[in-house]
Structure formats: structure tokens, C-alpha cells
């Protein structure tokens, strides 16, 4: 591993370079920081794009960004964005990076900057607005990176947490896997949904909601740690806190093998 650790000076220099190369130099000024404490310090966050402005809010109905000064509302747009929004980009200083991985993360946060700069903050941070600019940016510099919603496996292989934080992350991961409840909904149509529930009460909610759904054949859960680890290794790392989000795994070959693990029908 290269052992690269980004600095504020490096971030500022690369921001200007990438702004010109990938964003037609439309992004304005920005504050840069390296964080080593607080939320995300143990490795679940690579970087942030933040608002440093005071009283900056979003209209729920149309997602327009505005600020309130002395009781007066001012909508934020390209012309006043840097002055009122005061954009900030931070990178996690507890990682040992390669420069390529750090640059990819910086550009990822610059894509968030570009989206919010339009005066509109989408409900889904990594929705179509983000992916549209990410696609354009990636096509301009395919030799450098592909900007995605989440860091790719290749990017994560190019970086590692400092040892003391790596131990904390591994312990947290063990607890997370142990407490999760893999839940599968099998439909009569052949569709299979997978929800990685964060606790048994969510499973009970799902069963209660779907108990009269005649399209469902069965709902199956597992407390088998071997299955939990297998699913995580396949990339299903997100734990759901509410019903509504799921993976459609109908066409995944591994679904045919889950009978090898300990399962329980709950609905």
C-alpha cells in the first residue's frame, strides 16, 4: 500500500485541478478539513460534504435550499452559494490511503457540491441528480476513477484504517453481524426479497404488514452466523432499520443454496 495521507493543502490543490478538469471550473470556494474524531472516525465514513452556513434549511415540498437572516428568507443559488451555504469537504484522517483512492473520494464529495450548488438538495443524496453528474465526471477521467454511490471494492482495497481504528471497526462489525436478522420473502410469482433486519422487532413488523398478502408464499429468517457472514461477503452490508428497503435477489444463484443454513419460517 502506498501509505498516502491527504492534507488540507493537498485537498485544496486537487480541488482546483479537478474543478477545472471535470467540472468546467464552475465550483466556487470551499473549506477543507481532515477529521479524526466524531461520527465516522472508525471507518464507516470516508468523507463528507457539509454545509457551514447558519440557518440553512430545505423546503420539504420542492427541496429548494434557503437561509433565514433576520427573519428574511433568501433562496440559495449558484450566485450566492459559497457565501450563504459555506461548503465544506472533509476526509477521514484515520485511513491510510493511496492517492488515487483519496482523489476519488474528494471528487465524490465535489459531485455533492455540484448538486447542492444548483439550489436544490435531493431527498436521496445518491439519487439520480448525484448519479447524473457522477457519470459525466467518470467519463471525463476513466483512467482515474469511476464515481459511485459507495466506494468500490477496488477503492477499498487501496486503503486501510490505522491499526487502532481497524480493531474497533472489526469488533463493531462482529456485533452488527451477530445482531442482524436475515429475512427472506418468497412470493408465488418467483420473486424473492431480502431484508437484512437490524432487530427481531422489524421482522415482526414485516410479518404483521404482510400477513394478509396472498401473493406471498412464505417469510423466512435465519440466525445462522455462517449465512450472515456469507451474505455480507457477497456485498449485502446494509442493515435495514425499517421495512420498505430491500434487495430483489430473485435471480441470484446463491438463493437456491440458503436451505443449507438454519432457517425458520415466520410467516
Going by pLDDT thresholds of 50, 70 and 90, the confidence category of residue 229 is confident
Residue 152 dihedral angles phi and psi, to the nearest 5°: -75, 165
Burial 93-102 (b: 16+ CB within 10 A, else e): bbbbbbebbb
Q: Return the C-alpha cell found at 243.
A: 421495512
Q: What is the DSSP letter of 105?
A: H
Please say whether the beta carbons of 204 and 164 come within 8 A.
no
Enumerate long-range contacts of 243-247, CB under 8 Å, 24 or more apart: 243/195, 243/202, 243/205, 243/206, 243/209, 245/195, 246/185, 246/193, 246/194, 246/195, 247/193, 247/194, 247/195
Q: What is the mean pLDDT of residues 200-216?
A: 93
The whole-angstrom separation of Cα 107 and Cα 120 is 19
Q: What is the mean pLDDT of residues 96-116?
A: 93
The whole-angstrom separation of Cα 230 and Cα 106 is 31
**Residue scoring higher pLDDT (162 or 83):** 83
Residue 66 dihedral angles phi and psi, to the nearest 5°: -145, 165
The whole-angstrom separation of Cα 165 and Cα 95 is 9
pLDDT tens sequence across 23-60: 999 999 999 999 988 877 666 788 999 999 999 999 99
Separation in Å, CA 134 to CA 12, 37, 50, 93, 197: 20, 28, 18, 24, 30
Q: Return the C-alpha cell found at 2.
A: 502506498
pLDDT tens sequence across 52-96: 999 999 999 999 999 998 889 999 999 999 999 999 999 999 888
Q: Rounded to the nearest 10 degrees, what angle do helices 8-22 and 128-140 cross at?
A: 90
Separation in Å, CA 227 to CA 181, 224, 236, 243: 10, 5, 11, 21
Q: What is the mean pLDDT of residues 247-264?
A: 93
The whole-angstrom separation of Cα 251 and Cα 107 is 34
Going by pLDDT thresholds of 50, 70 and 90, the confidence category of residue 3 is confident
Q: In this structure, are strands 65-69 and 72-75 parallel, antiparallel, or unpaired?
A: antiparallel
Amino acid at each position: 500500500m502506498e501509505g498516502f495521507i491527504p492534507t488540507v493543502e493537498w485537498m485544496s490543490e486537487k480541488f482546483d485541478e479537478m474543478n477545472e478538469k471535470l467540472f468546467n471550473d464552475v465550483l466556487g470556494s470551499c473549506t477543507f478539513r481532515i477529521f479524526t474524531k466524531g461520527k465516522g472516525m472508525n471507518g464507516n465514513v470516508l468523507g463528507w460534504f457539509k454545509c457551514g452556513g447558519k440557518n440553512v434549511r430545505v423546503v420539504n415540498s420542492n427541496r429548494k435550499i434557503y437561509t433565514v437572516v433576520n427573519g428574511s428568507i433568501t433562496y440559495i443559488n449558484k450566485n450566492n452559494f459559497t457565501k450563504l451555504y459555506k461548503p465544506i469537504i472533509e476526509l477521514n484522517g484515520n485511513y491510510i490511503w493511496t492517492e488515487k483512492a483519496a482523489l476519488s473520494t474528494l471528487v465524490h464529495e465535489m459531485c455533492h457540491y455540484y448538486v447542492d450548488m444548483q439550489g436544490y438538495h435531493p431527498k436521496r443524496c445518491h439519487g439520480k441528480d448525484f448519479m447524473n453528474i457522477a457519470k459525466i465526471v467518470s467519463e471525463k477521467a476513466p483512467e482515474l476513477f469511476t464515481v459511485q454511490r459507495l466506494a468500490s471494492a477496488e477503492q477499498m482495497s487501496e486503503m486501510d484504517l490505522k491499526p487502532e481504528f481497524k480493531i474497533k471497526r472489526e469488533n463493531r462489525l462482529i456485533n452488527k453481524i451477530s445482531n442482524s436478522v436475515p429475512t427472506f420473502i418468497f412470493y408465488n410469482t418467483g420473486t424473492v426479497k431480502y431484508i437484512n433486519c437490524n432487530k427481531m422487532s422489524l421482522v415482526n413488523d414485516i410479518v404483521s404488514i404482510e400477513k394478509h398478502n396472498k401473493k406471498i408464499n412464505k417469510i423466512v429468517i435465519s440466525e445462522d452466523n455462517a449465512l450472515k457472514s456469507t451474505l455480507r461477503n457477497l456485498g449485502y452490508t446494509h442493515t435495514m432499520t425499517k421495512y420498505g428497503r430491500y434487495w430483489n435477489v430473485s435471480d441470484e444463484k446463491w438463493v437456491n443454496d440458503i436451505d443449507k443454513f438454519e432457517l425458520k419460517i415466520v410467516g
